Amino acid sequence: MKKDAYLIYSEDYHSYQFNENHPFNPIRSQLVYELLKESQLINDTDVLFPRVATDEELLLFHDSHYIEQVKKASQETINEQIAEQFGLGTEDTPIFKNMHEASSLIVGGTLTAVDAVLEGKANHAFNLGGGLHHGFKRKASGFCVYNDCAIGIKYIQKKYGLKVLYVDTDAHHGDGVQWAFYDDPTVCTLSIHETGRYLFPGTGGVNERGQGKGFGFSFNVPIDAFTEDDSFLVNYKKALSEIAEYFKPDIIFTQNGSDSHCYDPLTHLCTTMKTFQEIPKIAHEIAHKYCEGRWIAVAGGGYDYWRVVPRAWANVWLAMTNQQPSSEQIPKSWLEKWQKESNVTLPKTWTDDPSIVRNIPRKKEIEEYNSQILNRALDPLYIQQKKPFI
C-alpha cells in the first residue's frame, strides 16, 4: 500500500559540518527528527535512510573537474589557489575532511526521496538534509558544495522524463537551480526571496525570466526586507497557484528554507511560524491538483536552528501526512533535552506569539512594494503569451 510520505534522514547528515562556528549547523536535522518523534508524529516505518550518490549521478549537473577537486579537498590535498577557483576554502564554504562523502550523502538523500515517490512507494518524500540550492556546475557557493536540488531535477528528467515545477521559499534566491535550468522549458523555477539589494546572492530580479527555449519558465518574486506573514503568504499563494496553472507540472519539488523567520540572524524578513505552517499546506494542495500528489521536499537555509528550524520543517512533514500535533505545547522531553544545549530559550509552543515581530514603521509601504513586484512577476501577457515587458 502506498504511504502518504517518507522522511529521509540519517545521523550521518551530521558529517556535513564546516566548523563549530559556522552558521550552517547540521544538528538542525536531528532537532527536527527528534521533535517529530517526541510528538509521536512519526514512526520508524516512515523513515528511509539516504544512500550515497554515485559520481555518475553527480555528473548529471556538476563538472568532472569540480568533483575531482572536491575529492582532493576532502583529503586536504588541494592547492589553495586551485581551491579558491572552485569556491572551496572560502569563508562561506570552508574545506572539511570527507567533504565529498558528506555532500554525496545529502545528494543521495534527495535521490532516495525522488525514487520513493516516482517508484510509487509514497505520494510525498522529504529529505531533511537537502536544499543546497546555491551550488554551481563548477563552483561551491553559499554553504553548498553539491547542488542536490539541481541533481535531483536532472535525475527526474533522465530517469522519469517528467516536467518539474521547482518552488524555492528560502530567504536567499535559489540561484544555482535557476541558472541550471534557465534555458530548459521542461523545468519551471519559482523563487520567493528577500530582494538581492541587501542579501546574498544578489540575484533573483523579476527580469530574470529564462532564455532561449526556457524564456517564460523562470519566475522571481523578490520581496522587500522586513516583509511580514500576510504579505509573504499573499505573494506565495498567488504566484504558486498561477504558475502551476500555467505550467501544469508532472511533479513539484520544493526547497523549504526557514530563514525568512524574524529570528533568523542572516536575513531581514519578519515572518513567524504562521508562514511555515501555510507554505507546505499550499504546496500539498498544488501537488494533488496537478501532479497526482507527487511532491519532493528538501530543507534549505535556516540559521536559528534552536527556535525556528525544528518547528518550521516539522510542518512540512505535518502537511505531507495530514497531521496536527496533539497539543499546542512542544513536548517537555524534547525541551528538557535540548534546552541544556541551547544558548537561547526554546519556544514552548508550535506557534509564535505575533508580538515577537517588532513594529515595522514601513509596513504599508512594504506591502505595496511587494504587491507591485508580484504583479510584475505575474503579468498576464507574460504568463499567457510569454511576451517580454516593454
With cell 537551480, the residue in question is: 177
- 325: preceding bond cis by omega (within 30 degrees): no
Distance CA 58, CA 358 (A): 44
Task: Please give the grid coordinates belonging to residue 222.
Answer: 523578490
Tell me how long the chain is.
Answer: 390
Residue carrying the nine cell digits 569540480: 66
Identity of the residue numbered 253: F
Residues 390 and 379: beta-carbon distance below 8 Å: no
134 is catalytic: yes
Which regions of 196-293 does DSSP assign to beta strands (E)? 218-223, 251-255
**Residue 205 amino acid letter:** G
- CA 58: distance to chain centroid? 19
Q: Which residues face 144 on adjacent strands?
A: 141
> Which three three-digit cell numbers place residue 174?
535559489
- Choose, from 124, 134, 172, 284, the residue flagged as catalytic: 134
User: If we measure between CA atoms, which residue out of 176, 13, 22 comes closest to residue 90?
Assistant: 22
Kindly list the catalytic residues: 134
